[in-house]
Chains A and B, each alone.
Chain A
Amino acid sequence: MAAPFYDRRRGYVLRVRFGGRGPGKAPDQRKADYGPRTADTGKENHHMPKMDEARKAERLDSLQGRLTKLIADVRTEADIRKKRKMIGEIGNLNRRIDKLKSGRVLSREAKRDLVAYSFIAPNFIGFCVFTLIPIVFAFGLAFLRWDGSNPIEWAGIGNFMKLGDDVFFKAALKNTIIYCVGTVPLTMIASLALAIVLNQKVKGRGIFRTFAFFPYVASLVAITAVWKMLFHPSKGPINNLLYNVFHVAQEDLPQWFSGGLVLVSMILFSVWKYMGYYMVIYLAGLQGISAELYEAASLDGAGTWNKFRYVTWPQLSSTTFFVVVMLTINCFKVYDIAVMLAGGGSGELTTSSTVLVYYIYQKAFVDWDLGYSSAVAMVLFVMVLLVTIIQFVGQARKEKA
């Protein structure tokens, strides 16, 4: 629950809990609410209504008194729960005092809310219309039978029942999971290793970092076209090397984009393309580890490996958590990679390369079975949710320990 602090090297740094909300966010943020609004009082005075001045002053006094006491108490209170409650109370008191002082129709906090909402509105309206509403819609759609034009029918859990008997769905689910299980750890290890190497003081590390990030920036369509050339089963340089240098028999040359190997190709490609991205995240994490910890470890006689094990790895645990969650979510979303590496000209995938999102797309936009497509989408959602929750719980437990 570290507060943000300024670091000369890194600018403002804040360690955030993923998905965090609540008081951990920033105790100092509430600072603004703590004190009476002395700065404003002078300005607000002339708004005071004329009648009942005396009674008002009396109430104001009592409120101010309570406030001062609360503020004193809150500083000494040890129980975080009570503290939180008190802080809330302080906010309320402040608001009441303000209201009393100004006595305007549009209360101070209403005005404050309006300003705040005006900041949020442009994004929130778009977000609400184009994200929140469709999400709600998606949950409903999974229980309907609809082709997008004819009248909608209620399907109940029929769509979900059908899933169990659907060979293509099962293949898609299986392939997606295999892809995730292969990609997540490999990418994590590769990007961490890369980050550690590039965090050393080596010449030209800026260039190396840039290179490592290139694949992430490159468009999938373009770069998969290159991969398909490099790994071309009969003409590509990789198989050429295997054939000419390692003397692999012609019929034993790997068929990189079909059969069992297609998932391997997808995993390799994915690691190559995205490791640069996660490397940057790890780099940022590494730079947050204080050098003193390493010095202390050195004094204890720790070698490189032990330094990694006892300093780097535990210090990076929240980064790793973030990386793993993001990686898993991104892996479950795989579509383009499969279609472009295994799909050929028409982009059709067979049972050995089909993935969930491809099946969602097919069912929705080719077969126009929107309800069923949404049911598949729900499976995707549940998978992602499960992984996130498991990670979250694991992380929380680790932090406690």
Chain B
Amino acid sequence: MKSAHKKAVIGKAAVYIILILIALIMIIPFLWMLSASIKSDREVFQMNPFVWIPENPKWSNYSDIWTKIPFGRFVGNTVYLTVVVTLLQLLTSSFAAYSFAKLHFRHKNGLFLAYIATIAMPWQVYMVPQFIMMRKMGLNDKLLAIICLQAFSAFGVFMMKQFYEGIPDDLCEAARIDGMSEYKIYAKIMLPLSKPALSTLTIFTFVATWNDYLGPLIYLKSQEKKTIQLGLKMFISQYSSDYGLIMAGSVLSLIPVLIVFLVLQKYFVEGVASTGLKG
């Protein structure tokens, strides 16, 4: 009995040690980023002795980044893109998903197959023809191009559909008997129930759009259209050794995604579980 208890304690301890180690590996790069962002270029690589917080923190890194490059504009562009794309994605995919999950109509399977088939199709395969097409439509160097590109993904529809299928049909049926229109059922019954799925989709879309690099690289050319990722990359290639500034910019670029994630994360595992993403 005692040895079993001992064993359990040791097991617990081992689990904690492993967890702490993993947490450190996960978090140290971020701590390094924070630490380097308030250091001068000379202190950044100083190892002997290494300090996390320098004696004279160089807070000016955080203000300089806004003047060295049009950081404000980059942030503005990215916020605009991300918000619009996320809203459109949530709206259109939950709308379409409701139809696929709860309504019966002709060509349903065919249409859904079109979505499914493209999930396994990497965007990179058709990014070139897509660009040529968008250019023809006059969307080159327009923020609208990125919106068109990101807002109508098959993934969102697929995800939301899986979730809606998990909601019993009886709910809709009952509402139909009460004479509710399908639109009303969607708005009054389905949407309020889909918080976990919507949160999950928000996290995915927000993260993907905020952090997208190749899409904006192809479409957004002029300085005033660039997103934060392009801007940061540009800054890094221009001021490669201004580590403090680069890190300050990086920290700033992380804050919005982290906030969104932290706010929505309580629904996250549930959302993944209920949207069929686990297989």
Determine the distance from Cα of A100 to Cα of B18 in the docked complex, in whole angstroms: 69
Q: When the two chains form their complex, are residues A237 and B218 in contact, meaning their CB atoms are under 8 A apart?
A: no
**Cβ contacts under 8 Å, B108 to chain A:** 116
Task: For residue A349, give the distance in angstroms from its CB to the closest CB of chain B.
Answer: 14
- New A-B contacts (9) at CB < 8 Å, excluding given A218-B30, A384-B121: A4-B168, A127-B118, A194-B22, A212-B22, A219-B253, A226-B36, A229-B45, A284-B277, A318-B278
* A/B interface sample: 21 pairs, CB < 8 A: A11-B166, A11-B273, A13-B274, A16-B165, A18-B279, A29-B169, A31-B169, A109-B106, A127-B152, A128-B114, A137-B126, A214-B26, A222-B250, A226-B30, A280-B272, A284-B273, A284-B277, A345-B240, A356-B124, A365-B218, A370-B132
Are A214 and B125 interface neighbours, CB within 8 A?
Answer: no
CB of A100 to closest CB in B, whole Å = 19
Asked if B250 and A225 sit within 8 Å, CB to CB, the answer is: yes
> Does chain B have a CB within 8 A of A246?
no
A21 close to B (CB within 8 Å): yes
CB-CB under 8 A from A213, the residues of chain B are: 261, 265, 268
Chain A contacts to B: CB under 8 angstroms: 4, 6, 10-16, 18-19, 21-22, 25-26, 28-29, 31-33, 39, 91, 109, 112-113, 115-117, 119-120, 122-124, 126-135, 137-138, 141, 148, 194, 197-198, 200, 202, 207-223, 225-227, 229-230, 232, 235-237, 240, 244, 272, 276, 280-285, 287-288, 318-323, 325, 329, 332-333, 335-336, 340, 345-347, 356-357, 360-361, 364-365, 370, 373-374, 377-378, 380-381, 384-385, 388
CB nearest neighbor in A for B115: A127
Query: Is there a chain A Cβ closer than 8 Å to B69's Cβ?
Result: no
In the docked arrangement, what's the CA distance between A115 and B218, Å? Answer: 37
Q: Please judge, given known A-B contacts A221-B236, A226-B250, whether A378 and B125 are in contact too, CB under 8 Å.
A: yes
Taken together as a complex, chains A and B put the C-alpha atoms of A217 and B132 apart, in Å, by 31
**Counting CB contacts under 8 A, is B1 at the interface?**
no
In the bound assembly, the distance between CA atoms of A345 and B239 in angstroms comes to 10
> For B50, B228, B278, which residue has the most chain A Cβ atoms within 10 angstroms?
B278
Number of chain B interface residues as a range? 35 or more
Q: Tell me if A236 and B45 are in contact (CB < 8 A).
A: yes
- A residues within 8 A CB of B176? 39
Known contacts: A39-B177, A132-B118. The answer to whether A364 contacts B128 by CB under 8 A is yes
Are B45's CB and A284's CB within 8 A? no
Residues of B contacting A329 in the complex (Cβ-Cβ under 8 angstroms): 120, 122
B262: CB under 8 A from chain A?
yes
Do B276 and A377 have beta carbons less than 8 Å apart? Answer: no
Chain A residues with CB below 8 A from B65, complex form = none
Residues B211 and A130 in contact, CB atoms below 8 Å apart: no
* Docked-complex contact A211 and B23, CB < 8 angstroms: yes
* Bound CA span A122–B27, Å: 41
Q: Chain A residues near B16 (CB, 8 Å)?
A: 202
Which 5 A-B residue pairs are closest in the complex by CB-CB distance?
A322-B279, A12-B166, A126-B152, A222-B250, A119-B99
Contact between chains at A381 and B165 (CB < 8 Å): no
B149 close to chain A: CB less than 8 A: yes
List chain B residues, Cβ under 8 A from A236. 45
Cα–Cα, bound, A357→B125 (Å)? 8
Partner of B165, one of A25, A320, A357: A25
**Partner among B114, B149, B258 whose Cβ is within 8 Å of the Cβ of A130:** B149
